Amino acid sequence: MKYESLEEMNSQLISCTRCPRLVKFRVEVAGRRSRFLGEDFWSKPVPGFGNIDSRLLILGLAPAATGGNRTGRVFTGDKSASFLFSCLYEVGLSNKPDSVSRNDGLSVEYLYTTAVLKCVPPGDKPVNGELENCREYREFEIEYMKNLRVVLALGRIAFDTFKAYQKSRGFEVKDVVFKHGAGYRVGNTWLYASYHPSPRNVNTGRLTKEQLVEVLLHIKEKFLT
Ligand code: SF4
């Protein structure tokens, strides 16, 4: 492996400037959000959070502009984070029902969460090889999870990225298609799909709390107990 530890990888990650468009945007976006004027934004690549020795990986797309990009912790400080952690708390997978800041006392024992892209992209859409640029970091995290048994992908991009990773390792992915709640054995790991808990999906009713709780409960019972 290129890095000897997660700490070593994260220390390299947070100074990464490989994607010029994202390097610019992760800083610029701070000045555009009047709600947070005067607040120091993290504005760097955002490391993962949780227990790297756990069996469950929750994989998101990227830090949110005023979430991870502001607070420096993935799924922290925005509406998607609040929704996700309210569900994790309900099924007993986090000690608090919200994720607010890096020093909020939140802990998760049975999962690790990270994003396939470590910097916030404009419009939440990576382009032109940005996902490929970031591959080294996410694949190190995945490979460093020695006890990994199940991945819950939040949204199609995270799902397809993990699927492509398993395909690149020679595993069959022909019938693996994104569908909320569906789970597939892909090689040595299970892959589950959920709609992303974005405000758009939640506000339109595409993803309800009950739907996400149901998937989390299923994963908890099948893989974590
Ligand atoms: S998205 Fe990944 S590869 Fe691109 S600048 Fe951020 S950390 Fe580096």
Q: Crossing angle, helix 6-13 and helix 135-144, to 10 degrees? A: 160
pLDDT at 78: 96
Where does 6-224 sit in CATH, by number? 3.40.470.10
Nearest alpha-carbon partner for 26 in 135, 100, 130, 154:
130
Question: Are the C-beta atoms of residues 14 and 44 closer than 8 Å to each other?
Answer: yes
Phi, psi of 182 (to 5 degrees): -80, 145
> Any residues with Cβ below 6 Å from ligand 1, and which?
13, 16-19, 22-23, 45, 117-119, 130, 133-134
pLDDT at 158: 98
pLDDT at 96: 98
Q: How far is the CA of 95 from the centre of ligand 1 (A)?
A: 30
pLDDT at 84: 98
Q: How far is the CA of 25 from the centre of ligand 1 (A)?
A: 12
Residue with tokens 């760097």: 44
Which positions of the chain have pLDDT values less than 50? Answer: none
Q: How far is the CA of 89 from the centre of ligand 1 (A)?
A: 30
Nearest alpha-carbon partner for 111 in 143, 82, 147, 80:
147
The pLDDT tens digits for 53-76 are 999 999 999 999 999 999 999 999
The 3-state DSSP class for residue 221 equals helix
* pTM as predicted: 0.97
For residue 123 the two structure tokens come to: 């419009």
Determine the Cα angle at 120 with ends 178 and 37, to 5°: 135
**Ligand 1 atom nearest to CA at 26:** 6
* Residue ID of nearest Cα to ligand 1 atom 6: 119
Instruction: Look at strands 56-60 and 183-186 and give their pairing.
Output: unpaired
pLDDT at 148: 98
* Residue ID of nearest Cα to ligand 1 atom 4: 19
What sign does the dihedral 94-97-100-101 (CA atoms) show?
Answer: negative
Q: How far is the CA of 63 from the centre of ligand 1 (A)?
A: 11
pLDDT at 45: 98
Nearest alpha-carbon partner for 107 in 62, 152, 142, 76:
76
pLDDT at 39: 84
pLDDT at 146: 97
